[in-house]
Structure 1
């Protein structure tokens, strides 16, 4: 059964003349949660509710796919295909920074203006994973979380960011003392150890990359993940296991604690 988004307010957000649908819920400082492929699934919404219930205003922008659905494997693959040829995304090596991140930085600015506090948290997952890093070019972003970033799809050691933006992000990390929290499964074919090594080479000790055993992943994810992704991948959504002491639940709790530390005044 598809999730219903009745407990989120649907907003049409305009950034520099480009309008996108954003689902908003909660109160407190802002967190922008970007969906993973193939869209805002019930699992993404479940995670959004955990962020909301931890005391934040969560913003979930609709970037691709059908909102509130578990698509078939074939339909999910078509969403990926369309995104790969879209002008908004740079899915392959050599493409540089995805243009949609400029819109997402504008959303972060608006969310910070609406919610106040020391800044905004941003969470990217899968196709949007590295967007959380690029969004750190926006000064309002103070708590980036990079979950299992899959871009570029054709370079397991690559980062989906231009050289100029990479230098600017590194400079901001050093200047402002940002930390970047990241997660992957150890046998993820889309987010490899090579990719995490590239993040560490760029960010140094500011990159906190945490690796979970693939054997702990949910073995019965939705069809797209089971048939198309084909390996443990989505730590806090499709491959999450909601059991006490489970590594994925620990990861979820660590993410929420990171956001609380950075956004609610406990961080020095």
Structure 2
């Protein structure tokens, strides 16, 4: 188990590459599958092979998966040096609010527009949003778009400098609380118990905002993959990415069960029972 291996870059040949325009801002989005839409956002340092593996699992469960390119080199294996540079650039980008007091990241508005377009194209009762790490909280802010009805917040790391804060403006936090209450949404979330980037304080802040609508699940750090890619080993330096870089792909393993729970959650909320 967990034999060390250097994964190659992913050529992303089984996705169609689209340019999506939201209010004049154009970004690359990788799309695959059929069925209701699910937006899978990358974690630092970009659309890695592990992020694409998760997207393929979601695609194969019966969804049209949309993976927007928000930072980094699409398909690249996460090296330590390259990943650290991507993270530095993202932290000072006008699109993101990486530090406390910055409020909601502006890119969240673009992601809501993507969800709206995806719903129009794919149909179904609504859209799912899966955030990871740097984009973890975006899955929650996307619920300000009415079409988003299933939100998975994985190990949200922002703001980086305040473990007890949420990457939200006060106005958006109130609007999200009202929408979740009004429509009876349930927000699923995951973290490792010894994650230095997403602590118990952050999950407590989510519960304070959302109450019982927040289903925060905590895995033991001892369950994390012990030989993740170099960026996670040398820069992240703690168990962090429950269903991507630190997932152990073995039947019955806690991280694999978390993946299966996410697939079940998306299916329950997005695919009408026959």
TM-based fold match above 0.5: yes
Q: Secondary structure at the match of 2:255?
A: helix
Alpha-carbon deviation of 1:77? Answer: 0.6
| Deviation (angstroms), 1:4 | 1.7
With the length of structure 1 as denominator, give the TM-score of the two structures: 0.99
Corresponding residue of 1:153: 160
Q: Which of these residues, 166, 191, 196, is aligned with residue 198 of structure 2?
A: 191
In structure 2, what is the equivalent of residue 6 of structure 1? 13
1:144 deviation in Å? 0.4
Contact 1:241 1:248 in 2 (8 A): yes
Question: Structure 2 CA distance, aligned partners of 1:168 and 1:261?
Answer: 25
Residues in 1 aligned to 2:220 and 2:243: alpha-carbon distance in whole angstroms: 14
Contact 1:117 1:264 in 2 (8 A): yes
> Match for residue 53 of structure 1?
60
What secondary structure is seen at the aligned counterpart in 2 of 1:132?
helix
Partner of 2:261: 254
Q: Give the SS at the match of 1:102.
A: helix
- 1:164 corresponding residue in structure 2: 171
Are 1:236 and 2:243 counterparts?
A: yes
CA distance in 2, matches of 1:32, 1:83: 20
Q: How many residues in Structure 1 have an aligned counterpart in Structure 2?
A: 267
Q: Name the structure 1 match of 2:146.
A: 139
Q: Corresponding residue for 1:210?
A: 217
Structure 1 stretches of 5 or more lacking a match?
Answer: none
Partner of 1:67: 74
Q: Which residue of 112, 116, 124 corresponds with 1:109?
A: 116
- What CA distance in whole angstroms lies between the structure 2 residues aligned with 1:156 and 1:250? 26
Q: CA deviation at 1:70?
A: 1.1
Aligned to 2:85, which of 42, 67, 78? 78
Tell me what 2:133 maps to.
Answer: 126
Task: Report the RMSD for the aligned CA atoms in angstroms.
Answer: 0.8
Paired with 1:155 and 1:201, the residues of 2 have a C-alpha distance of 16
Deviation at 1:265, TM superposition (A): 1.6
Q: CA deviation at 1:60?
A: 0.0
Q: How far off is 1:75 after superposition?
A: 1.1
| 1:175 corresponds to | 182
* Aligned counterparts of 2:253 and 2:142: Cα–Cα separation in 1: 30
Give the superposition deviation at 1:231.
0.2
Match of 1:219 among 198, 207, 226: 226
- Return the alpha-carbon distance in structure 2 between the equivalents of residues 30 and 143 of structure 1: 11
Contact 1:260 1:266 in 2 (8 A): no
| Structure 1: 4+ residue segments shifted above 4 A | none
Deviation at 1:266, TM superposition (A): 3.9
